[in-house]
């Protein structure tokens, strides 16, 4: 906004260091204790089902892939709910370790696999009936490439279920709230990347030396809502279901305003915070 030094000076008083941890400390914690709260994970699955209007099938006959599974909460919740077999994939090793520990603790190890791979490089020997990406698409380095790759992962007649956000250019899209004392709307869009990541190194993750959002642990791809719509269309998919900002439905006037704003191409990227979608391959 005003240059890296001034942006840093403006933002620093709004930060704290209460969550300061090294990558090594986080790796050790993940290996020591899975700490899976399955009741909370099931509540998240129920919320996902509601926001998808029940469009996520739960069946013992289907095979599921959870892309960007993180620590495995949703992967385990799907298995607990009765899905036939669920594979979670993530490129952060400590998340995969935590997921595997959780599967053992919950007695789900026979129906759940966790894979530590970059989804762009992974070539499984099977296909999946349901591919889910929950709160992860904004972290995947190349979403357009993923959409192209999905044909090799999805079984005939299968669906792709996406729930992601906040998108980077939305009011809370920089994913840096854990070391800020208060939310600052459109912080990532308004203030320089250099200033925010310098504060992140000083106040949050001292051993993550990333100088670009894309390079932090877990990554942020800076995808806009308009980028998402274009990539879906260009790679041959169509929407079976699409909802933007459904969390606002409990405040109907705000939800209606948000729906109006995301229809305006010039400004929609700044108001599309979360997206819930179901994709099918477009008929030739």
DSSP for 163-211 reads: EE---TTSTTTT--GGGBSS--TTHHHHS-HHHHHHHHHHHT-TT---S
Where are the domains positioned within the chain?
Answer: 4-281
The predicted-structure confidence for 119-165, as pLDDT tens digits, reads as follows 999 999 999 999 999 999 999 989 999 999 998 999 999 999 999 99
Q: What is the DSSP letter of 87?
A: E
Q: What does the pLDDT read at residue 173?
A: 92
Q: What does the pLDDT read at residue 26?
A: 78
- Helix (H), strand (E) at residue 230: helix 225-234
Quote the pTM value.
Answer: 0.93
The predicted model gives 272-282 an average pLDDT of: 96
The predicted-structure confidence for 194-231, as pLDDT tens digits, reads as follows 999 999 999 999 999 999 999 998 899 999 999 999 99
Q: What does the pLDDT read at residue 32?
A: 67
60, 78, 103, 114, 121 from 111: Cα distances, Å: 10, 10, 9, 10, 24
Please provide the size of the chain in residues: 284
Q: What is the share, in percent, of the chain residues with pLDDT greater than 70?
A: 97
The predicted-structure confidence for 24-75, as pLDDT tens digits, reads as follows 887 777 666 666 789 999 999 999 999 999 999 999 999 999 999 999 999 9
* The dihedral sign for the CA sequence 244, 245, 248, 253: negative
Please give the Cα distance from 173 to 164 (Å, whole number).
11
The CATH architecture to which 4-281 belongs is 3-Layer(aba) Sandwich (3.40)
Reply yes or no on whether the pLDDT at 284 is more than 70.
Answer: no
- Answer whether 225's CB lies under 8 Å from 137's CB: no
Please give the Cα distance from 268 to 137 (Å, whole number).
18
- Answer whether 158's CB lies under 8 Å from 129's CB: yes
* Averaged pLDDT score across all residues of the chain: 93
Q: What does the pLDDT read at residue 218?
A: 84
Please give the Cα distance from 48 to 243 (Å, whole number).
12
- Answer whether 149's CB lies under 8 Å from 239's CB: no
- Answer whether 76's CB lies under 8 Å from 41's CB: yes
């Amino acid at each position: 906004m005003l240059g890296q030094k001034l942006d840093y000076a403006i933002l620093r008083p709004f930060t704290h260091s209460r969550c300061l941890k090294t990558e090594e400390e986080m790796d050790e914690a993940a290996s020591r204790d899975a700490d899976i709260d399955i009741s909370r994970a099931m509540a998240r699955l129920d919320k996902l089902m509601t926001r998808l209007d029940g469009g996520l099938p739960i069946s013992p006959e289907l095979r599921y892939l959870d892309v960007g599974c993180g620590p495995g909460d949703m992967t385990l919740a799907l298995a607990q709910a009765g899905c036939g077999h669920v594979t979670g994939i993530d490129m952060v090793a400590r998340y995969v370790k935590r997921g595997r520990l959780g599967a053992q603790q919950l007695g789900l190890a026979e129906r759940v696999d966790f894979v530590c791979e970059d989804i762009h490089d992974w070539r499984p020997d099977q296909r999946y009936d349901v591919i889910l990406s929950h709160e992860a698409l904004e972290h995947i380095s190349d979403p357009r490439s993923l959409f192209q790759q999905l044909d090799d992962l999805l079984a005939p007649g299968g669906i792709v279920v996406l729930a992601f956000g906040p998108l980077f250019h939305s009011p809370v899209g920089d994913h840096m709230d854990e070391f800020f004392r208060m939310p600052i709307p459109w912080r990532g869009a308004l203030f320089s990347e250099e200033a925010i990541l310098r504060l992140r190194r000083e106040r949050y993750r001292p051993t993550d030396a990333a100088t670009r959002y894309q390079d932090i642990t877990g990554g942020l791809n800076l995808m806009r809502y308009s980028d998402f719509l274009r990539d879906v269309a260009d790679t041959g998919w169509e929407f079976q279901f699409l909802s933007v900002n459904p969390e606002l439905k409990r405040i109907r006037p705000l939800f209606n305003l948000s729906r109006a704003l995301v229809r305006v191409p010039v400004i929609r990227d700044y108001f599309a915070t979360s997206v819930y979608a179901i994709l099918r391959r477009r008929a030739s």
